[in-house]
Amino acid sequence: MAWLFRDIQQLLSIAPWKWILRNSADTWYTTDYLLPDYFKYKITTSVDWSGNLTVALKNYAWNDASVSAPIKYQDWNWTIRIITWALSLTLPAATNWMNLWGAELATKETDLFTYLWYRVSTWETKLCISRYPDWKLASDFSAGSTTEKTLLSTWIDSTDTVINIWRVSLILSAWAWYTWSLWTWTTLNYPVYETRKLNYVSQITWTAWAAPSGSPVVINTYQIIWSKVKLDMINYGYTAGTTVTKASCSLPFSCLWYGTWHSTLNQWNGINYCYTLLNDWNDATKFSIYTASATIDRIQANFDYFI
């Protein structure tokens, strides 16, 4: 159970004890403004037999919100909003939602963030979901349901505000069924702006006379923290490649701009120092490690980047 306001002192300083509120049907009514239970909520996730995902918002009694048991929350403008109706979002199977079916993330456990979005034009709050934890305005995110920086909802008004309220853990299967499944560890019951350290599969392309081969030990992890990704990558145990000059590696989340870091490609007889170039050749989905011509049997990189 969580609380939908950000500052208890701000909340307790607001008067009066009774508050007149208007719902989406333009109906006016009175409710107990400071009743703490009205600021409690829970997110539930469920997947039906066809692999369709439903994310729903519940009140303090774990039921749909209603006039008699509403859900209240505070948005970024310090405005108290009220929800008096059932609120849910359904993501059907057979769609590459947020590009989760890609080779890096398909079948991998993924942390997603749920948002409340207040639509000024209709006096309504909608439920949204995204891979990105730090949206403030609807205009911040990318359009399209299959882009990685989208915010999924039923419609979009670019000037409206959104607020992060929850984190859920889900898996989207690989092509072509794209069915959802729930992870055993499913939710954090308060607003959170970072994922756990998650696994991904980097797709590596070598520039070499003979590329490293075989079945290496792969340890690739990433963590999204606000608007930044922390990446750690260690792949070792290749059959050594020869005359290697470059390794291009796919990212778990596209980068916002490019930069350079020091990384290493390791040789069987020592360490070959090199540099990492993010957004190499204007490709925001990859980073590249360059080195002088060398014999290579492993690859290692760790750095942070903005998304």
DSSP per-residue string spanning 246-287: EEEEE-SS--SS--EEEEEEEETTEEEEEEEEETGGG-TTEE
Task: State the pLDDT at residue 37.
Answer: 67
The tokens for 303 are 């750095």
Query: How large a percentage of the chain has pLDDT more than 90?
Result: 38
When comparing pLDDT for 4 and 164, which is higher? 164
Task: State the pLDDT at residue 154.
Answer: 62
Q: Which residue has 């009066």 as its token pair?
A: 16
Task: State the pLDDT at residue 10.
Answer: 41
- Is there a cis peptide before residue 16, judged by omega within 30 degrees of 0? yes
When comparing pLDDT for 104 and 119, which is higher? 104
When comparing pLDDT for 246 and 11, which is higher? 246
pLDDT over 80 (residue 12): no
For CATH 2.60.90, the residue range(s) in the chain are: 199-306
Confidence of residue 58 (pLDDT cuts 50, 70, 90): very high
pLDDT over 90 (residue 218): yes
Confidence of residue 120 (pLDDT cuts 50, 70, 90): confident
56 bridge partner residues: 44, 88
Task: State the pLDDT at residue 189.
Answer: 59
* CATH 1.10.150 for the 199-306 domain, yes or no: no
Confidence of residue 121 (pLDDT cuts 50, 70, 90): confident
H or E element in which residue 73 lies:
strand 71-74
> Among the ranges 39-48, 146-155, 223-232, which has the highest mean pLDDT value?
223-232
The tokens for 231 are 């990446």
Task: State the pLDDT at residue 239.
Answer: 93
Helices (H), 143-269: none
The tokens for 40 are 């409690």
